[in-house]
A and B are shown apart, each in its own frame.
Chain A
């Protein structure tokens, strides 16, 4: 079952603007990850944040995690046309190997 809810479902912005996507989940987690999927392709891992972390950066990406609200956000700064893709959050729980994916946000960067 999919426990992640992502919001917005679709986001369209101008190149150079920042894009923020949110993810909420229902159960306690061990890690939360963000993945990107270009149309018709597999997923590319972007960043992993552990349950005891609150914020993490990687290049133009910033991820926050609020376990009290069971939510996470992904911020992409200075967006580029190449950032156009679907973005998914995925959670795993202690002792479980599998990931549960959110519904995803379709991001479109307009040149």
Chain B
């Protein structure tokens, strides 16, 4: 158990719809990362937040948005869903305290999104 919690674990929806994925980081971790993993692609970095602020952005579509709240949980919003958005979405967190390794991410179990 990494200590990172993601909900929902599975989600089935239709094209054109909007969904929200939620992530609670490990206790004490200020950084949250979002990744997308499709069957034919590796882990694609979407976005990273640190203590509520966006710090790094990957190839995140304009239809996708994220935020990190004061309690450090994060949400990834996916709108106008397309068939190609079907994927496993991972959230990960990391700490930057003494003893932490920058780049050592702790991943949640993922949210599997199926768009029909």
A and B co-occur in one complex? no
Binding site for A on B (CB under 8 A): none
Binding site for B on A (CB under 8 A): none
